[in-house]
Amino acid sequence: MDQPNQSYSRGAQDKTLLAMTIGQAFDHTVAQHADGEALVVRHQQCRYTWRQLAATVDLHARAFLALGMQTGDRLGIWAPNCAEWCISQIASAKLGVILVNINPAYRTSELDYVLKQSGCQWLVCAGSFKGSDYHAILQELSPDLRSMISLDPSPPAEFLPWSQLAALGSGVPPEQLHTRQASLHFDQAVNIQYTSGTTGFPKGATLSHHNILNNGYMVGESLGLTAQDRLVIPVPLYHCFGMVMGNLGCITHGTTMIYPNDGFDPLLTLTAVAEERATGLYGVPTMFIALLDHPRRGECDLSTLRTGIMAGATCPIEVMRRVISELHMGEVQIAYGMTETSPVSLQTGANDDLERRVTTVGRTQPQLENKIIDTDGNTVARGEIGELCTRGYSVMLGYWNNPEGTRDAIDDAGWMHTGDLATMDEHGYVCIAGRNKDMIIRGGENVYPRELEEFFFTHPAVADVQIIGIPDARYGEEIVAWVKFHPGHVANELELQTWCKGRIAHFKTPKHFKFVDEFPMTVTGKIQKFRMREISIEELRTQPN
């Protein structure tokens, strides 16, 4: 029962957590829906029923056994979205091998750090992606690995072609896989995901079967997924959004997984929805903006859509309204979380009214707790702003081989400190005001970028906007707005500043505007505000007075 005056909320207890490993959950779904369509990978032109996917997964798990992979060994995967990614995810989980997700955008130094920090012994890699030659990078790096498995059909000699794994697997009796799988328990680590910090080295969030299987399950439960649903997944698999909310959400409900391409392409995504008669679609706000503004959207029949998730960044109100009305996603939900919480801790519901779905990130997920605290660690009153903390089954085991980082993130009572500023209303709905570090203090006034971004979204010319603060000698910080316009629309700095007058407090009006076609962002679509700050500071420093 929620505390009426405190910003504390406990999620519903009526949904039971799954007490099984990922391999057990997968086998359960295969037994129930053997002939249903499990996986469609459009750019590779391949389709699997659950029975076919299970046969492929088990054969490749046996190949991993032939290569000598033991429970607890780390297997890196450095590749964009593809069938082999999904197969590797499930096959490694069946062996108790810890899958290390590697960002496809990583280059030599980042790759070297992650492979060494995680202690990877094995690596599955693409041949190339977006102009980057993965083979050449690995040859230059010469990592200390027992084997490098390439998805390229004709890799250099030091790489084992993926195509040879089937023959390797056929030499291992199925009983060996069954014995290994039976020896596992659901609290064991199964995945390491590196969080992209703005300073210092990335930290490896270590997640168990229990963490991510149940989070994918609860997300799917909120969406009402069934074996009749077909979910388009254009978000990266290396990130929680793709591999947990996407793959595991589908696996726990018998829902078809559809990958439209190796990376996000708006037209291929729209085409996949139309041709596959998809009922669900995932994306971050920048993806949905690209879909909505695509000139050929009208050619695609999107009427089968009913649900989906917008997450990964703050979800602008006007974008959400258009997703509901123009993409037919009447049951679309917002999910909030972080890699360290598997990832989702708050989610709106299918029955929430439009206002709550466009102004909050929902309520506490089943079997979890959230609270909002002040700088002294005290729970604040409802409606007051503070730091959001999460506790429960979804909180990571810790940062891999980083006890100090773990202690800084998870307190003695088991609360994960998110670093996000938030408020909780009397009904338990949470609003995210932004990151602690993103808050702008201008002349002693607190300015929350999220609030200002929502305001600018109501301007008819603005398609997307990001608000940042930069140092200022007089006021401490000044406000900069990076603005992207709808196609065919434009406005200048004076027009936007004039438009602000009388609508928002004068101290919230940005002093500087930068008009862009794209924002600096990660491959998961998360805006890199620290890069925007660096660029803005440099550009304004070099401008003549």
Model confidence pLDDT, tens digit, residues 352-387: 988 888 889 999 999 999 999 998 999 999 999 999
Q: What pLDDT is stored for residue 477 in this prediction?
A: 87
The Cα–Cα gap between 159 and 350 comes to 47
Please report whether residue 479 resides in a domain. yes
Q: 135 lies in a domain?
A: no
Instruction: Write down the pLDDT at residue 454.
Output: 83
Name residues of the chain where pLDDT drops below 70: 1-3, 196-200, 312-314, 523-525, 544-545
| Closest by CA position to 279, among listed 295, 251, 258 | 258
446: in domain: yes
58 assigned to some structural domain: no
Closest C-alpha to 357, from 305, 311, 291, 312: 311
Q: What is the CA radius of gyration of the chain?
A: 23
- Secondary structure of residue 124 in the 3-state scheme: strand
307 in any annotated domain: no
Taking the C-alpha atoms of residue 60 and residue 238, their distance in angstroms, rounded to an integer, is 19
What interhelical angle do 83-95 and 50-66 show, nearest 10? Answer: 60
What is the pairing mode between strands 203-208 and 128-129? unpaired
Q: In whole angstroms, what is the distance from residue 196 CA to residue 198 CA?
A: 7
What's the pLDDT score for residue 2?
A: 58
Query: What is the CATH classification number for the domain harbouring 474?
Result: 3.30.300.30
Cα angle: 511, vertex 513, 514; to 5 degrees: 150
How many alpha carbons lie under 13 Å from residue 231 in its C-beta half-sphere? 31
Residue 59 lies in a domain: no
What is the pLDDT, as a whole number, of residue 345?
A: 98
Residue type, 47: R
Q: Quick one: pLDDT at residue 199?
A: 44
* Cis amide prior to 343 (ω within 30 degrees): yes
What is the model's pLDDT at position 110? Answer: 84
Listed residue (362, 425, 368) closest to 11, CA to CA:
368
Are the C-beta atoms of 456 and 387 separated by less than 8 Å?
Answer: no
Q: Does the residue 17 lie in any domain? A: no
Q: How many domains does the chain have?
A: 1
* Cα distance between residue 497 and residue 63, in whole Å: 62
Q: How much is the pLDDT for 527?
A: 84
Q: Looking at residue 448, what is its pLDDT?
A: 76
Question: Hey, is 465 helix, strand or coil?
Answer: strand
Q: Which domain holds residue 534?
A: 439-542
Residue 467's nearest CA partner among 440, 432, 437, 486 is 440
What does the block give as tokens for 82? 């593809």
pLDDT of residue 317: 76
Instruction: Name the phi and psi angles at 274, rounded to 5.
Output: -70, -50
Quote the pTM value: 0.86
**Which residues, in sequence order, are bridge partners of residue 391?**
369
Residue 491 lies in a domain: yes
